[in-house]
């Protein structure tokens, strides 16, 4: 297939590849590597939840990266044709069956060549195509294999992660291939329908390495019906791709302890596509390193002050250390003026590494730099040093400013989880500015309860507790399950939630099932 692709496309051409979890995707992606082409994994329609949104995303990705062709399952050709109407692009079967038979000797990539394009998973902005080189990919895979997971003979990887996301593509396709590991794949759709299948694969095939965002572990707990499992082989149960939630992981370890799962197997890590994937790993075989901080003092002073007996009940928060940066990665935390901060001082996270991507494509198709003149990348994340380990506290763009204090939306969302328990699912907190330039905090909460009286009581209780946590009034609105927008990788999108709320789409989605609690004075 590489020889046929080399005959059809000029070296360096950028090729979209629908990243379904299948042998055809793996073959096509690797054929691009062998023929000197640059593949761009594209998500499936289910990741965006609607045809119109998906078509807009695909059209933007094609324009952003200057794609020459898309390889896709035949069932998607009609929607892709519609999405790319008016653009000079060809569609081919994902299997390569519709490629011409002509072949030429393929010329693989060199170390400095582009390897692939990783699109950001944002759901409201123009997609950004992050460009990894062969050198940056190799550097990160080497660090993951040797330092992060310390891969050894007999390891076996298991993954349900989407292959259009960096954690699935690099962490559980390319890196295991580098170290010649067997990988058992489960599609994200199958995982969402039957999360227990993930654990059954690990149990049946003696999987040792597998990762998930926190919500994946939470879903397994919610759907578990006591099936017999043997998870004793699972030595590295990684958490990444989103904020690490200690409560959800505690529930998982308690639920599956009888199945042989060890809480020491948890490995928290931090990464981002701009760094190919991995930035830091917690030590193996130690479990979660939890740091409980006083939320009020953190909001007031930008310091992660440890919680104590004097901390008001419910005013502490558990953060999880993501371990030490990889040896090839420099990391610093800075204040708004760019000065480096010390231990427990919260600031913006910057990294410098051999694993950094070469740049990114935006709408003008020109490769834009990622870093400043000294090679430092502003990750957009906030965090602090806990000894020599990094703790990530959230995204700077999601921060809520109220009465001169910085409030993490996760703190407010955590209140909804604590009060509502299993009655609630996702929640999204954000700041709203009114026409008079006054601001208020809004908390949207997905709620399973149907009884009007129960919903009203729940909304009032959450509003009262959220006001206590935030030190400011909070408007709470209960919405339908699965109504809050998520990115293509499954992360909650607060920006998209805010946009939907402002435009009235959220109210249309929930209809009569919405329940509101006015901001408490």
- 386: which residues sit within 8 A by CB, 6+ positions away? 289, 291, 304, 321, 343, 344
Q: Do domains 136-397 and 399-517 have the same CATH topology?
A: no
Sign of CA dihedral 435, 440, 441, 442: negative
pLDDT recorded at residue 513: 42
* Strand blocks (E) in 180-287: 182-185, 209-212, 236-239, 266-271, 278-281
Say which CATH topology domain 399-517 has: GMP Synthetase; Chain A, domain 3 (3.30.300)
Task: Say yes or no: domain 136-397 is CATH 3.40.50.12780.
Answer: yes
pLDDT recorded at residue 443: 93
Q: How many residues in total does the chain contain?
A: 521
Work out the mean pLDDT of the chain and round it to a whole number.
89
Q: Give the domain ranges of the chain.
A: 2-109, 136-397, 399-517
Q: How confident is the model at residue 517 (pLDDT cuts 50, 70, 90)?
A: low
Q: Quick one: the chain helix, strand, coil %, rounded to 5?
A: 35, 30, 35
* Strand blocks (E) in 136-191: 156-159, 182-185
Separation in Å, CA 80 to CA 31, 90, 202, 292: 22, 10, 35, 48
Per-residue pLDDT reduced to its tens digit, 396-411: 888 887 766 778 788 8
Q: Residue 165 in 3-state DSSP? A: coil
Lowest mean pLDDT among 63-67, 269-273, 277-281: 63-67
Tokens of 358: 């070469």
Per-residue pLDDT reduced to its tens digit, 26-55: 999 999 999 999 999 999 987 555 788 789
Residues 93, 40 contacting (CB under 8 angstroms): no
- 61: which residues sit within 8 A by CB, 6+ positions away? 16, 40, 42, 67, 119, 127, 129
Beta strands 129-133; 114-119: pairing state:
antiparallel
Q: 476 vs 46, which has greater pLDDT? A: 476
Q: How confident is the model at residue 394 (pLDDT cuts 50, 70, 90)?
A: confident
Locate tokens 């410098």: which residue? 352
Q: 505 vs 493, which has greater pLDDT? A: 493
Domain formed by 2-109, architecture: 3-Layer(aba) Sandwich (3.40)
pLDDT recorded at residue 176: 97
Sign of CA dihedral 367, 372, 375, 377: negative
Per-residue pLDDT reduced to its tens digit, 199-208: 999 999 999 9
| 3-state secondary structure string across 143-154 | HHHHHHCCCCCC
Per-residue pLDDT reduced to its tens digit, 382-392: 999 999 999 99
Residue 433: φ, ψ to 5°: -105, 125
Top mean pLDDT of 51-60, 270-279, 416-425 is at 270-279
């Amino acid at each position: 297939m590489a020889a046929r692709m080399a005959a059809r496309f000029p070296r360096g051409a950028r090729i979209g590849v629908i990243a379904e979890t299948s042998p055809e995707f793996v073959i096509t992606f690797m054929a691009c590597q062998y023929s000197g082409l640059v593949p761009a994994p594209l998500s499936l329609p289910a990741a965006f939840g609607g045809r119109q949104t998906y078509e807009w995303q695909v059209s933007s990705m094609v324009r952003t990266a200057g794609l020459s062709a898309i390889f896709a399952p035949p069932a998607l050709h009609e929607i892709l044709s519609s999405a790319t109407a008016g653009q000079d692009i060809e569609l081919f079967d994902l299997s390569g069956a519709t490629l011409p038979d002509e072949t030429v000797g393929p010329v693989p990539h060199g170390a400095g060549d582009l390897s692939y394009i990783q699109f950001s998973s944002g759901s409201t902005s123009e997609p950004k195509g992050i460009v990894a080189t062969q050198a940056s990919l190799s550097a990160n895979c080497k660090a993951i294999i040797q330092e992060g997971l310390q891969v050894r003979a007999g390891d076996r990887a298991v993954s349900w992660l989407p292959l259009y996301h960096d954690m699935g593509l690099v962490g559980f396709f390319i890196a295991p291939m580098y170290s010649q590991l067997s990988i058992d794949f489960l599609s994200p759709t199958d995982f969402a329908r039957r999360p227990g299948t993930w654990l059954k694969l690990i149990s049946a095939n003696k999987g040792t390495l597998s990762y998930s965002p926190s919500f994946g572990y939470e879903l397994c707990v919610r759907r578990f019906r006591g099936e017999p499992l043997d998870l004793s082989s699972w030595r590295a149960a990684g958490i990444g791709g989103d904020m690490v939630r200690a409560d959800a992981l505690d529930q998982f370890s308690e639920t599956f302890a009888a199945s042989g799962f060890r809480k020491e197997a948890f490995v928290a890590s931090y990464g981002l596509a701009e760094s190919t994937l991995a930035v830091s790993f917690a030590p193996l075989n130690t479990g979660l390193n939890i740091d409980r901080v006083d939320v009020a003092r953190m909001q007031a002073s930008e310091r992660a002050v440890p919680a104590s007996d004097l901390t008001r009940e419910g005013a502490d928060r558990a953060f999880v250390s993501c371990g030490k940066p990889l040896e090839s990665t420099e990391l610093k935390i800075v204040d708004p003026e760019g000065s480096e901060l010390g231990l427990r001082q919260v600031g913006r996270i910057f990294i410098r590494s051999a694993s950094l991507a070469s740049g990114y494509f935006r709408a003008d198709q020109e490769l834009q730099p990622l870093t400043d003149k000294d090679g430092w990348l502003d990750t957009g994340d906030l965090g602090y040093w806990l000894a020599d380990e990094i703790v990530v506290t959230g995204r700077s763009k999601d921060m809520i400013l109220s009465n001169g204090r910085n409030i993490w939306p996760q703190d407010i969302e955590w209140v909804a989880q604590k009060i509502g328990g299993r009655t609630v699912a996702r929640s999204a907190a954000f700041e709203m500015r009114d026409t008079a330039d006054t601001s208020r905090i809004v908390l949207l909460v997905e709620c399973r309860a149907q009884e009007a009286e129960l919903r009203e009581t729940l909304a009032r209780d959450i509003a009262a507790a959220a006001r206590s946590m935030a030190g400011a009034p909070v408007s709470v609105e209960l919405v339908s399950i699965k109504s809050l927008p998520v990115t293509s990788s499954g992360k909650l999108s607060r920006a998209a939630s805010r946009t939907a709320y402002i435009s009235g789409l959220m109210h249309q989605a929930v209809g009569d099932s919405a329940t509101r609690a006015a901001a408490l004075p």
